[in-house]
Amino acid sequence: MFPQDLKPEHFSSYPPEARKLATNYVSTLQRLPLSFVPGLLREIIEYDFKFPAERSAREKELAYISRLSPEQTKECLSGFAVIRLSPQLEAFDWVKSPAQFVEQLSAHLWSTRQLDAFRKASNDYADHLRAAVPPEAPPIPRLGITIIGQGVASYDSPLFRKLRPHGTYFSKVNPEDGVRKLLGFLAERAQAHSIPYGHWYIDGGEEAEHPAALTSVSYNALESLRASLLQRMQAELERPGMGPEALRTKMAQMRPSDFGAEKFVGVSPQDPVMRRFALSLLTEGSGTQIFSTSFAQWAAREALRRAQPVTLLVRFAPRQRQKPMNELLGGIPARPEPDPLGSLIDADFSAYYNWLNQQRLLGAEQSSFVVWFEGHNQAVAIGPAMARSTESRSAPDLKQLLSWTV
Amino acid sequence: MLARTRRDFLCDAAGLTLGSTLMPSWWARGVSSAKRKVIVVTFGGGARDQETFAPEGQENIPHLMNELIPQASFFTQVVNRGILGHYVATASLATGVYETINNFASLPPESPTVFEYFRKDLKRPSSDAWVVAPSNGFNRIGESSHRSYGSGLGARVILPKHLLSAATSGGRNDFQHLLRDNYETPFYAPELEGNEFQLQQLETLLKVSVGDFREHAQTLSSPDELSLYIARRLMREVSPTLLWITMHDIDVAHAGAYSLYIEGIQRTDRLCSELWKAIQSEPDYAGKTTLFILPDFGRDSDDDAGGNGFQHHRTGDVLSRTTWMLVVGPGIREGVVYDRAMESTDLVPTLGAMLGFSPTFAQGQKISELV
C-alpha cells in the first residue's frame, strides 16, 4: 500500500486519541512519501501514551505539514522521496505496524547503502521544521542535577574531567545531608512551578523519600518487572528461529498489560503514560535490565528527549559487578555483588551525557547543571552564573551551591 | 578533521613521522612472499579516538602507543562504508567487498574470502589458514558461498568459547552468561552451522588436553584472553601462514557501562602487545610476520543525538565509520603515520600483494604505502 491509498478506517486499530489525530490528518498523510510516513505514524500510534511536550510537538508538526502547498511539501521532503524501497517494504502493513516497518527500513537502508542519504533527509527535515515551528521555550530555565559515587569511600583519580571545562569545580563542598537538600530544592521548584511531568527524580537504586509532585522512576522499584522481562527474553531466545532482531521486535511489542499492574511498583495505575515509559526503558534500552548505571543514564536520556522536564535529578547507585571469566567458570554462586568503583566511573561519564542531553533542548544557554560526588566534597556547577574552567575555594553546602548556580 | 586530529595526536605523543604515498614502500627489503606470514587482528568491536588515540584516551592504550606504534606504519583514516554490524563488517574486511548478509544469521559471506584466494591460488592446505573468533555467529566466516570458491577452500575456524562450552559440558546459569554470543542481546547463543572445530581436535592438533584447556581457561579473565591462548597454541603447533583473530571484549560497551568498555580497551591493548611478543618468540614467525591490527569500525560520537555515544554503533555517523590500522613487521616502515583516506576493503588486495594471490572479486585497492 502507498500513502495515497490511506483511508480513515485504516486507523481503526489505533488507540482513541491516536486514531482521532491520524484521521484528522489523513489527507495530509496521503501526500507524503512512503519512506517518511511510517516514521510519523510510529509516533502518532503512541500518541495516547506520550508526554505533553511530545503531544504538542506532534500536533504542531502535523498542522504545519497540512498547511504546505504540494510544491512546498515536495521541497521539504525531497530527500525522502528519492529513497528506494523494496517491494517487500511496499507490501508491508506499515499503517498497522509502523515501528516494525521502520526497523525493516533501517536494515534496508544499511544493506542498500542509502543510510547516509536517509540521515541527510532526516536532518534537513528536522532543520526545516525547527525553523518553521520552533519548539516551545521552557517556562523556567532548566536545572539538571546528577549525583554519582554512592557507596565509594574514597577515589583518588580526577572526577568530572568532561564537565570541568564547562563550569566551576568545587572541592570543598559540605556534603552533609546532601541528597535531602537537593531533593528539597526540587520539591520547592515543583511547588512553585507546577508543570505536568516537568520535575523528575530518577534513581539507579532505592528511591529516597521525595514529594509526590516529582515524577519518579527507579531501578529497584522495577526489580520485579526486570526479573519478569529477563525471564521472557530468555524463553523467547530458546524458541527455534528466534534471533536478536526478532527479539527486539518482540520486546517492542510488549505492553504493561502483559505484565500486570503489580510489577510497576511506584508507578500509579492511573498513569498509563509513565507505565509505558517505565516498560520502554527496559524493552528499548540496552543493558538497562542488568546494570543500574545503564538504567539511570538511559532513563535520563529518554526523560530529557521525550518529556523535556525543567528539572531532572539523577542519582546513580552501585551496579552489579561483571564477573570475569575465571569466576564464571569456577561455579561461584550467582548472587550479584555491587561494584561501587566501576559504577562511579560509569556515572561520572553518564553525568556528561546527562548534561549533553539537557543542552540539546531549547533554552540551553540559560540552563544549569550540578554534578556531585555523593558524600564527598567534590562538585561541578555549570550555568550562566558560573565561570568556565575555574576552581572555587568556597565551601558551600548543596543547597547554597544550587542557589548560586540557578 | 577527524584524521588530522588523530594524526596530530600521534605525531605529538609518539614523535612519529608523517608519511605520504610518495614514500616508496620498503616491502622489497622484507622477506620473500613464500616465507612470509600474516596475522590480522580486529581490535575488539570498535573503540573511539577519545578513549584511545586522543590525549585523554592514550592512558588506555599504553602498549599500542609505546611499544607497537613506534615500530609500525599507522593509517589514520580507514573508512568502512558498509553495514556496521560485527559479523557482516568482519566479513567485509575478509572479502574486500561490502557484504550485505544478515549480521545475526548463520550465513557465509557471499564473496570469496581472503582465505579462499590464498588457498586456491597458492595451493595451500586447510591447515595454513585459520580464524579464531569470539562467537558462534562467526562460524561461517572462513568460507564464502561463492560458486567459484567456497566449499573446501576456506579457513578453518575455531570458536574458543564454544570449545570451552563443550569442555565444561555446557553448564547453565553463570556459564550461559559467559557464552552469550554478542553484547547486544543477553542470552543469545545461536546454534552452530557449518564446519565445526571439534573438541577432540584440541588434543590432536593443538596438543592440549581437554582438562588442561579447561584448567587454563579458569586462569583467564575474558573470552579474548582465551582467543589469544588458542591463537598461540595454533602458532606453536600448526604454524599457519594466514591467521585471523577477531577480538570482541570491547563490545561490552553495548551494555552501557563505561568502565567495562574502558577495561575492554585496556585488555585488548595488552593482548595485542602479548601477541606481538609471541610472534617474536616463535621461530616460525619471528622476523617474517606482518601483523595488521584494525577495528572493524568505530562507535557513535557523543555529538549525534540519534545515538547514545560510546554504547552503540548504530548512527552510521563519521566517527562510527572511520577507524585506523596499525601494520608492523619486516618491510614495513617504522614510526610513520599516513593520513590519506582508505577503505576497509583495501585490506584484502594488500594481503594479496603481500602473499602473492589475486583477490579477483575484491573491490578495494592495495595500499601502496605497504606493498
Residue boundaries of the structural domains of chain B: 2-355
Q: Is B169 at the interface with chain A, CB within 8 A?
A: no
Q: Tell me: the pLDDT tens digits for B202-233?
A: 888 999 998 899 889 888 989 999 999 999 99
Q: Is A288 at the interface with chain B, CB within 8 A?
A: yes
Tally of domains in chain A: 2
Asked whether the beta carbons of B177 and A328 are under 8 A apart, the reply is yes
State phi, psi for B246 to the nearest 5 degrees: -105, 115
Asked whether the beta carbons of B364 and B343 are under 8 A apart, the reply is yes
Residue position matching grid coordinates 506499515? A94
Do the chains contact at A319 and B257, CB–CB below 8 Å? yes
Task: Flag whether A35 is in a domain.
Answer: yes
Interface with chain B: mutation pick from A88, A159, A328, A350, highest number of B CBs within 10 Å = A328
| Whether residues A123 and A155 fall in one domain | no
Do the chains contact at B302 and A352, CB–CB below 8 Å? yes
Q: Tell me: the pLDDT tens digits for B27-76?
A: 666 677 778 999 999 997 788 989 998 889 999 999 999 999 999 999 99
| Whether residues A190 and A64 fall in one domain | no
Q: Is A137 at the interface with chain B, CB within 8 A?
A: no
3-state SS class at A199: strand
| Whether residues A55 and A122 fall in one domain | yes
Q: Tell me: the pLDDT tens digits for A309-345?
A: 999 999 999 999 988 887 777 666 667 899 999 999 9
| Whether residues A206 and A355 fall in one domain | yes
Task: Flag whether A137 is in a domain.
Answer: no
Return the pLDDT at B1. 47
Of the partner residues A115, A326, A352, the one whose CB lies closest to the CB of residue B218: A326
Residues 6+ apart with CB under 8 A from A2: A34, A90
Q: Tell me: the pLDDT tens digits for A335-384?
A: 789 999 999 999 999 999 999 999 999 999 999 999 999 999 999 999 99
Task: Flag whether A182 is in a domain.
Answer: yes
Mean pLDDT (whole number) for B324-333? 96
Instruction: Reply yes or no on domain B2-355 having CATH 3.30.465.10.
Output: no
Do the chains contact at A334 and B174, CB–CB below 8 Å? yes
C-alpha Rg value of chain A to the nearest Å = 23
Of the partner residues B100, B173, B184, the one whose CB lies closest to the CB of residue A111: B100
- Residue B79 pLDDT > 90: yes
User: Which cell numbers hold the place of A150?
Assistant: 554512592
* Chain A neighbors of B315, CB-CB under 8 A: 119
Angle at B212 between CA B211 and CA B214, to 5 degrees: 65
Residue position matching grid coordinates 575492554? B264
Q: Please give the order of strands across the beta sheet that includes A368-373.
A: A215-218, A199-203, A311-315, A143-148, A368-373, A379-382, A168-170, A390-392
Do the chains contact at B256 and A319, CB–CB below 8 Å? no
- Residue B169 pLDDT > 80: no
Return the pLDDT at B172. 45
Task: Give the end of a domain, one of A132, A166, A187.
Answer: A132
Quote the pTM value.
0.93
Task: Give the end of a domain, one of A104, A132, A160.
Answer: A132
* Chain B neighbors of A362, CB-CB under 8 A: none
Q: Is A114 at the interface with chain B, CB within 8 A?
A: no
Return the pLDDT at B24. 65
Q: Is B56 at the interface with chain A, CB within 8 A?
A: yes
Asked whether the beta carbons of B242 and B218 are under 8 A apart, the reply is no
Task: Flag whether A119 is in a domain.
Answer: yes
Asked whether the beta carbons of B257 and A322 are under 8 A apart, the reply is yes
Q: Tell me the residues of chain B between 116 and 145 that have a Cβ less than 8 Å away from chain A.
A: none
Return the pLDDT at B62. 98
Return the pLDDT at B183. 62
Nearest chain B residue to A246, by CA: B104
Of the partner residues A245, A328, A345, the one whose CB lies closest to the CB of residue B177: A328
Task: Give the end of a domain, one of A66, A97, A132.
Answer: A132
| Whether residues A107 and A252 fall in one domain | no
Q: Is A364 at the interface with chain B, CB within 8 A?
A: no
Return the pLDDT at A244. 78
CA–centroid distance for A95 within its chain:
25
| Whether residues A93 and A151 fall in one domain | no
Mean pLDDT (whole number) for B355-363? 97
Which structural domain range is residue A9 located in?
3-132
- CATH number for the domain harbouring residue A154: 3.40.720
Q: Tell me: the pLDDT tens digits for A17-76?
A: 999 999 999 999 999 999 999 999 999 999 999 999 999 999 999 999 999 999 999 999
Which DSSP helix (H) or strand (E) runs through B77? strand B73-79
* Chain A neighbors of B98, CB-CB under 8 A: 113
Task: Flag whether A228 is in a domain.
Answer: yes
**Cβ count near A188 (within 10 Å):** 13
Q: Please tell me the distance in Å from A230's CA to the nearest CA on chain B.
A: 9
